[in-house]
Structure 1
Amino acid sequence: MVVPRKGGAYAEESAEVEVLFANMEKMKGLTKKIQGSLNRLETSGKTVQDSIGPIYGNTQRLQVTNTNIDRVIDAIDKLRAPVDQTNREERIIRAGPRKADLRDYFASLDRTTLALSDLKRSNLRSNQQAVTELSGLLKLGTKQLEDVFRDILRDSSARTVEPLEYVAKNNPFPVIAEKDISTLRSINSHISNSFKQLAQQGNPETPTQRIYADIRGDYIMSSLRTLAAASINTARKVTADAIYKPGTNGISMYAQGMEGLFLAEYENVCPIFAREEWGTVYTATCMSSLGEFSKTLRELNGHIQKNMMTDCFLGYEIVDIVARLSIQLETKTGELKRPIYDTMKPIRETSKLSLGKLLDDTRARAQALVALPGDGAAVPLTTETMVRLQTMTNYLSPLSSIMTSLGDGGWKTTNPAASSNSSLPTMKAFDVGADGKQLFAHYASDTIDMLLQNFEAKSRLLLKSKSLQGVFLTNNVAIVDRMIRSSELQPLMASYAGKLEAWRKKGTAMYLDAWREPSAYLLDVQYTNRNARPQSSSANATDSVAIVKGLSSKDKDAIKEKFKNFNTSFEELLSKHKSYKLEREVRTQLGREVQTIIEPLYGRFWDRYHEIDKGKGKYVKFDKGQLTAALTSLS
């Protein structure tokens, strides 16, 4: 039956539910027990925390206290350290560098310098006493090293050198021994480090810089003293009017000696001092010598000003030498260009002034002439003026620089120094290119033009005949031309040839003016409406006979008078010509000019009329051959 089966299934499921309810009751009981255990554990934890809390707090406070104690101990050690270090380094430093190994001494100074730096950085009041003591100790140590530095330099500078020996043999100048260089470098390094801790702001010069500049500066100056004296002595003139010759003065040797010593000193400075100190130390070391050099140049400038017309060339030489020296040292060391250049500024100004003075002197001497040679000879002033210009070609480099600063024609101003501002020379200033040569050519042209213009004016005033004036002017032109051609002026004054030729033509024309008279006597009147006559070019006696026969009595007398007047005038001019003092080329030139004019005129006249006296020589004194011989003798 179905019902019983259903009843059995429900009974089984009901049993399972009852089991589940029983398990749930057990879980509830277990949960209550766990909750009770948790409550009891929480209560116990609170009890433990309340018991341990005070103990943990005490432990933390003890740890802080312990840390503070350690810090106090460290502070006490730090406070005691400077005192201990001062005591330790003091023994080494006070013993001095001479009684100990320098390396130990340097190490002690290094430690002292470092300690002082640390103390200053800490800025603790308690350390001020230690700072003072360490500073004093460092000063003492530095002072003792300065003494050693000074002694080494004095020993190496005890014997001055004779620069002339090294210059003459082209030998390098001596430098400080390598061993001493090494010691000086170490001392300078340590003193520089100490100086940074001790020095006041605004005082960058270290003691070693000052000591080095003083001792080595005296050494260089003493070594150059003889050359300075020689430069002054060699400037003294034996002959008052002697023109200065290149290289006569000792200034060149002086400059070479200075260059050698300065370059050697630069080799000393570089390994001893730091790179940023080279320029300062090197310049300071050389300044005393440059002061003496400047003094010497001022004395030479005074000498040049007193002997401007003859010794201005010494000024040009000095400008050249000093300018080159400044550039060479600047190229090799990077220093001293301006200080060296400044030493010769007075002489440069004097040299600029001299260009105008030379022109004024030439003009004044030409205008001061109260008499000119009666034979038309050139005056010595021409040769003297040309010698000046020839001598100036030896100084084209400095003159190029000087004339460039004056500007073209600036030498004519009364105040050349104000015409332009002088500037430092450059390498281009020593390249005498087209500009420099052109400026000098203009100056020389101005000089010669001014000279010849004054000669022309003076000859018109002092010489009676125009012919003699022409001889005088042509003679002087010939000397100018000859002295240009035979010297370095030739390539420089090529452009002046045209002007000089114009002067020559002017003088020649003045001379030939006297020959117009005999030339006029050789001109006759021909009438085209008369009967045909023999050709004048015929040299046959028959032609002359026919011509003379065809003349009227009056015309014959006129021809006879022409021959007589020609003979008188010609012989007189021959005599005068031979009485003139003519330069070789002038005699040749003027003789040819006269022959060119007279010979064809006389030949024509003679061909036509030589039969006027039938060969007796009463009127026709010269035949064509004799005239040619007479004219040839003029050359």
Structure 2
Amino acid sequence: MDDETAEIELLEQNLNKTRQISQRMTSILSSFDTRLVKLEKSILPLYNSTQVLTRRANNVESALQKIDEIASYHEGVAAEEALILRGPQPNQLSAYTEVLERMNVSVAFNSTDSRDKARLVESGAKKLIQLYTKLVAEGSSGVPPGGAEFTSVPFPASLMATLQPLVTFLRTLPLPATHPSHPAASGIQSALKDAQKGYGDMRGAWVRKCLETFGKRVVDRAETIDGVAAGTEVGKWTENMLSVADEEYNLLLDLAPLTTPAAISTTYATLISPLTNLFTSTLGSLGSLIKRNLNKNTFLALSAYSSLTPLQPRWNDIMSRRADRRENELKEGLHSIRASCLRSFPEFLADIRLAGLGKGGEVGTGLADFTISTVQYLERIPAVQDAAASALLTLGDGNWKMGEGTQIGKTKAAEVDEQTVLQHFTHDVVSATVQSLLTLSRTNKRPAFGAIFLLNNVSYLRTQVLVRPRTDVPAILSRPSQELLNSNFRTAKAGYFDANFSPLLQTLVDEKDKGKSAVKEKFTRFFDLLDEVTERHAVARVLTDDPDGRATVADEAVKLVVPSLQRFIQRNLGKEFSKNPQKYIKMPPEEVEALIKGFYSGGSGGSAPTVPAPEKMTNTLLQQAGWGW
């Protein structure tokens, strides 16, 4: 118990001490709190004053920064405005477009000075558009290409390097369709439309200038070179025009600021207008040339028609569809040329028939002009076979025989194909030529010369188009045409022998009067006629352009005359019809053979000269010609 009491007393003592300490701590804290309250009351005014001063200092600093920013902004705007008003420089194009782009963004976000900036954007855009027009003008000027072969002039690569980034930026400018509320959109669109129209005008004038020289050359050469070659050149020139137009269309797609389909087609139509005008005038000049002398220029028309027809699909695409045009100048030109082609066929036949009337004066024994022209005509047709056959089919089978009772338009095109109608036409050409030759040979007052004329011409016609053709003429000649040529050649050769050598043979025919005087008269008559034949062949050459034919005729003439002469001499030498047979037998058969072969010797030349009257053929003339003995 004592121990517990002692512990309790100890605890009470400690508790008292703790209470005393707590009281002292409470007293100290109360005193400290009182002092803090006093301190707070003393510091609070100073704190409030310090806050005001700090806020004022911050406001002053912010104001100074804002003033600096405004001053700097106005300096930048002034510099940018000066840059825009000065216009783009070749080496500062990117800086210029960046300034415009920033201003355009400010306008788009409706900044306080957006209207002023919009005016600057419009002004800058127009200066860029002026630069665009200037560069296009530089690339569309200079000396056009010349020479015999066409060469295109591509847009300069150095200008393209500047134009391409410029066009890329122009395509980003605000337009009413994309920025309806932009103050400068309508003005910029108007300037771009003018620039794009100017592009079409400048490029169109330039490409016409490049093609015009070659078009004039085509027209000039058409009067001097072969018609087929001239027509081919017309097609080549037109093909070059289409290639140039195609290149210009692709260039337009690269360089057009306005890229809507309507804007592209409108600009392209403006661009190709000078080309279509040039094509129309060039083809018009060729058409006038053809119509002035259709017979001479028939193959120019056929060749041009053949060369231009395959280009129609390209023309439809490049010159009509892309430009959204209804006009088709090539189609109209082909109609005009085809009309000339259709006229040429009946007119050619009519000229052949007219030549057969012999109104050109006395006919010689050489080649007639219409024979040569017929051969040339037939030789050229294979080169324009498709065009000729198509035109003939359009004209109608047989409708070229105008004036011979043919009913125009009654033949159905489906009844024959192009190959057949072409063979029908060439048959009529051959037939008309042969008929005219027959008529002229019969109207000759000297049948022997008429026979030589007929043989020369029929042989020439047959050789050139059938035996040794220089082109594929036999392919356009039907079997009846070939048989017609062969048959008339045989007939002409028989007529030639009959007119020139039959009188000789008739003198050697035995008659009832077999007296010496009759034999003398026969020999005299034979050699007199032989002299006439010799004189005739001195000036009337036979088959001058056919050495093989001359050799064949020479052999046949010898076989016709010499054996009969030999037999007649053998029959009468034994009868001693004369004491001096050499007086009547002026030449032995061997010399007669040599003489006849001499008729067909010598170099080939042109047609024989016009035959003079027989009474003017003297021995002196024969000796001068090398035929005397």
Same-fold call, TM cutoff 0.5: yes
Aligned counterparts of 2:298 and 2:282: Cα–Cα separation in 1 = 16
Change in 2 beyond 3 A, CA 1:140/1:263? farther
Asked whether the equivalents of residues 319 and 347 of structure 1 are also in contact (C-alpha less than 8 Å), the reply is yes
Number of the residue aligned with 2:435: 453
Question: What code does the residue aligned with 2:345 have?
Answer: L
How far did residue 603 of structure 1 move? 4.6
How far did residue 177 of structure 1 move? 1.0
Residue in structure 2 matching 1:219, options 174, 185, 206: 206
SS across alignment from 1:612: coil
Aligned counterparts of 2:353 and 2:388: Cα–Cα separation in 1 = 21
Structure 2: gaps spanning 5 or more residues = 1-79, 89-94, 187-191, 411-415, 601-629
How far did residue 286 of structure 1 move? 1.1
Asked whether the equivalents of residues 217 and 285 of structure 1 are also in contact (C-alpha less than 8 Å), the reply is yes
Change in 2 beyond 3 A, CA 1:304/1:631? closer
Residue in structure 2 matching 1:361, options 344, 351, 360: 351
Question: What code does the residue aligned with 2:372 have?
Answer: T
Number of the residue aligned with 1:181: 164
Aligned counterparts of 1:347 and 1:162: Cα–Cα separation in 2 = 33
Superposition map of 1:160-179 within 5 A? 160=141, 162-165=143-146, 168=149, 173-174=154-155, 177-179=160-162
Change in 2 beyond 3 A, CA 1:611/1:179? same
Number of the residue aligned with 1:572: 529
**Count of residues in Structure 1 that have an aligned counterpart in Structure 2:** 472
Change in 2 beyond 3 A, CA 1:339/1:486? same
Superposition map of 1:44-63 within 5 A? none
Number of the residue aligned with 1:157: 137
Residue in structure 2 matching 1:377, options 366, 376, 400: 366
2:497 matches 1:512: yes
Aligned counterparts of 1:195 and 1:208: Cα–Cα separation in 2 = 19
Superposition map of 1:115-264 within 5 A? 145=125, 148-149=128-129, 151-158=131-138, 159-160=140-141, 162-165=143-146, 168=149, 173-174=154-155, 177-188=160-171, 194=177, 210-231=197-218, 246-247=229-230, 255=238, 258-264=241-247
Aligned counterparts of 1:196 and 1:109: Cα–Cα separation in 2 = 11
Aligned counterparts of 1:143 and 1:398: Cα–Cα separation in 2 = 59
SS across alignment from 1:309: coil
SS across alignment from 1:246: helix
User: Any idea what the Cα deviations from partners look like across 1:430-449, whole Å, max 9, x if unmatched?
Assistant: xxxx9877766654543343
**Identity score, percent:** 17
Aligned counterparts of 1:142 and 1:499: Cα–Cα separation in 2 = 84
How far did residue 572 of structure 1 move? 0.6
2:547 matches 1:593: no
2:492 matches 1:502: no
2:273 matches 1:287: yes
Change in 2 beyond 3 A, CA 1:389/1:621? same
Change in 2 beyond 3 A, CA 1:594/1:196? farther
Asked whether the equivalents of residues 470 and 506 of structure 1 are also in contact (C-alpha less than 8 Å), the reply is no
User: Any idea what the Cα deviations from partners look like across 1:162-186, whole Å, max 9, x if unmatched?
Assistant: 5534984856633661541343355
How far did residue 462 of structure 1 move? 3.2
Aligned counterparts of 1:605 and 1:453: Cα–Cα separation in 2 = 39
Change in 2 beyond 3 A, CA 1:572/1:194? same
Asked whether the equivalents of residues 563 and 619 of structure 1 are also in contact (C-alpha less than 8 Å), the reply is yes
How far did residue 508 of structure 1 move? 1.7
Aligned counterparts of 2:431 and 2:338: Cα–Cα separation in 1 = 26
Question: What code does the residue aligned with 1:264 have?
Answer: E
RMSD (CA atoms): 5.1
Higher helix share: 1
Structure 1: gaps spanning 5 or more residues = 1-90, 116-132, 200-204, 421-433, 526-553
How far did residue 265 of structure 1 move? 0.7
How far did residue 473 of structure 1 move? 0.8
How far did residue 144 of structure 1 move? 7.5
User: Any idea what the Cα deviations from partners look like across 1:535-588, whole Å, max 9, x if unmatched?
Assistant: xxxxxxxxxxxxxxxxxxx7743x973674365146415522541412234644
Number of the residue aligned with 1:476: 457
Asked whether the equivalents of residues 200 and 270 of structure 2 are also in contact (C-alpha less than 8 Å), the reply is yes
User: Any idea what the Cα deviations from partners look like across 1:251-275, whole Å, max 9, x if unmatched?
Assistant: 5785465345323312202334659
Aligned counterparts of 2:148 and 2:242: Cα–Cα separation in 1 = 10
Provide TM-score, normalisation by structure 2. Answer: 0.59
Aligned counterparts of 1:143 and 1:167: Cα–Cα separation in 2 = 48
SS across alignment from 2:449: helix
SS across alignment from 1:173: coil
